[in-house]
Chain A
């Protein structure tokens, strides 16, 4: 059991390391290929220079209006009637995007604001047109509705459409967080995902799309235009990607015609329940990577366990126990096989004596003997190969799972981060400026486990090698796990302790016989 676990860890970690190296080097990783290859030539519009820096900082008289729902604190800004900043009250977090929902043809329009109980309405009127932007806000969920009504008072609409900017600015915390940031576009058949900071100025997607959104590690902003958008455009200014939606032109209209564009927005955490509640397929924004299906399944198991324990740390302990139980039938089977093995021992000794020089033939004969008696001393490759998709899927799920953010357990303040038991005044090499207890505990448990399994081994591989392994393996793993989220280390720790204990019991019962 231990042996297999160790092998599984090595392989998983190797795959993880390679995976993250590849991901960080080779971004943009397009998970699903963009199927539309035709390139639309966009109608002439404002030169990039005016499009860039949509919100010019030098505008002096900028007006701010703050509106709160039970979940969000939204700061609207004028001119432009856009959302300047958002605060997520439940998570005590500043939203990672700033400058949302400015349209390209209203940047300098000074709107009049009017608050109603469930909405804020911005109105602008000049000689040529009237623009009304109505933001409807809701308590209890993270959706916002935007209705933009434009009336051309001379009956002449501009020939080209307009752009709606999803963001003007992205708040970056660390290079590590950058790789969690993605732009996703839901096209008729596929969902295109691109690393946000790997984008270059240009059209990311042409043709119809259902929704487009940006996400970071935990939160997301998704826009669904009710009349289909024509494409998604990105402008990169000083390393800041600004994403905009290309929206259709209205053509010639009579002065009475109102051009109404409706947008359904989601601005909040990436959790399935919230995203799916809008019935717009927003839940597809949630994507955990290659083993997405397994990740989603593991996450729903974890959520169920949370319902039992009401604590994420407890849920993870239970989860480790469940995985251990799931492997249990295999372990039992293996134990029985071990017992029968001992009955075969005389026959093997006889074979060994007979075929002393020819090790290949000996191996073959021994295997044949095992097969006849349907026993085998080894667990097999499948159980350990099965473990690493599960581990990677769990890693990917836990990395993005909002529920763990700020969830404490015992001395751990935040399960989504290393446990940081003691903060050091100075930065140390390798360790950094915090001491994490959990990886050290895990290292220690691995070390003990190695010791236990060493005494059970009947010298099949050299003792020297074994001793070296017993010291190096825990060290290597301690280092690899050192800065991983506490939740993940906790899971490995529990699983390791359980299989270690089981092995110890097994050994004791064998000695008793």
Chain B
């Protein structure tokens, strides 16, 4: 599941995103954010984080620098 989503996101970034004008208000962009957060948190949690991000990505929010938070490692 996770790999399928990541494959989809990568091919979107590779083939579709590049011919489109930039529109995201954030850095990293929503699709980069999606890729990172799903990689880090898995399809479900990462997907929810992405959803939250996309909802914030409109003219009424500030946008700007908003990276995926580092997952706290439990093995010290």
With contacts A379-B25, A381-B24 taken as known, whether A368 is within 8 angstroms of B19 at the C-beta atoms is no
Q: Which of A3-11, A28-36, A263-271, A415-423 contacts B (4 or more CB under 8 A)?
A: A3-11
Q: Is the beta-carbon distance between A368 and B55 smaller than 8 angstroms?
A: no
The B9-51 residues at the A interface (CB cut-off 8 A) are: 16, 19-27, 29-30
Residues of B within 8 A of A469 (CB): 19
Q: Is the beta-carbon distance between B63 and A376 smaller than 8 angstroms?
A: yes
Residues of B within 8 A of A4 (CB): 23
Least distance between A454 CB and chain B CB atoms (Å): 11
The A279-302 residues at the B interface (CB cut-off 8 A) are: none
Residues of A within 8 A of B24 (CB): 378, 380-381
The A377-422 residues at the B interface (CB cut-off 8 A) are: 378-385
The B40-76 residues at the A interface (CB cut-off 8 A) are: 54-65
Which of A3, A367, A371, A383 sits near B58, CB closer than 8 Å? A383
The yes or no answer to A370 lying at the interface (CB within 8 A) is yes
Q: Is the beta-carbon distance between A378 and B22 smaller than 8 angstroms?
A: yes
Q: Provide the bound-state CA to CA distance between A364 and B63, in Å.
A: 12
A460 to B, closest residue via Cβ: B22
Residues of B within 8 A of A465 (CB): 19
Residues of A within 8 A of B63 (CB): 367, 370-371, 376, 378, 380
The yes or no answer to A363 lying at the interface (CB within 8 A) is yes
Q: Provide the bound-state CA to CA distance between A190 and B54, in Å.
A: 33
Q: Is the beta-carbon distance between B21 and A371 smaller than 8 angstroms?
A: no
Scan A450-493; emit 1 where CB is below 8 A from any B CB, else 0: 00000000001100010001000000000000000000000000
With contacts A10-B20, A370-B64, A469-B19 taken as known, whether A364 is within 8 angstroms of B27 at the C-beta atoms is yes
Residues of A in contact (CB 8 Å), total 31
Q: Which of A134-142, A156-164, A330-338 contacts B (4 or more CB under 8 A)?
A: A330-338
Least distance between B24 CB and chain A CB atoms (Å): 5
A461 to B, closest residue via Cβ: B21
Q: Is the beta-carbon distance between B65 and A7 smaller than 8 angstroms?
A: no
Q: Provide the bound-state CA to CA distance between A383 and B54, in Å.
A: 9
The yes or no answer to A374 lying at the interface (CB within 8 A) is yes
Residues of A within 8 A of B29 (CB): 381
A363 to B, closest residue via Cβ: B27
Q: Is the beta-carbon distance between B21 and A368 smaller than 8 angstroms?
A: no
Q: Is the beta-carbon distance between A379 and B20 smaller than 8 angstroms?
A: no
With contacts A333-B59, A334-B59, A376-B59 taken as known, whether A368 is within 8 angstroms of B25 at the C-beta atoms is no
The A332-365 residues at the B interface (CB cut-off 8 A) are: 333-334, 337, 363-364
Least distance between A453 CB and chain B CB atoms (Å): 9
Q: Provide the bound-state CA to CA distance between A381 and B58, in Å.
A: 6
Residues of A within 8 A of B16 (CB): 10, 14
B17 to A, closest residue via Cβ: A7
- A selection of 23 A-B contacts at a CB cut-off of 8 Å is A3-B21, A4-B23, A6-B20, A7-B20, A333-B60, A364-B27, A367-B63, A367-B64, A374-B62, A376-B25, A376-B59, A376-B64, A378-B22, A378-B23, A378-B24, A378-B25, A379-B25, A380-B57, A380-B58, A381-B57, A382-B58, A383-B59, A460-B21
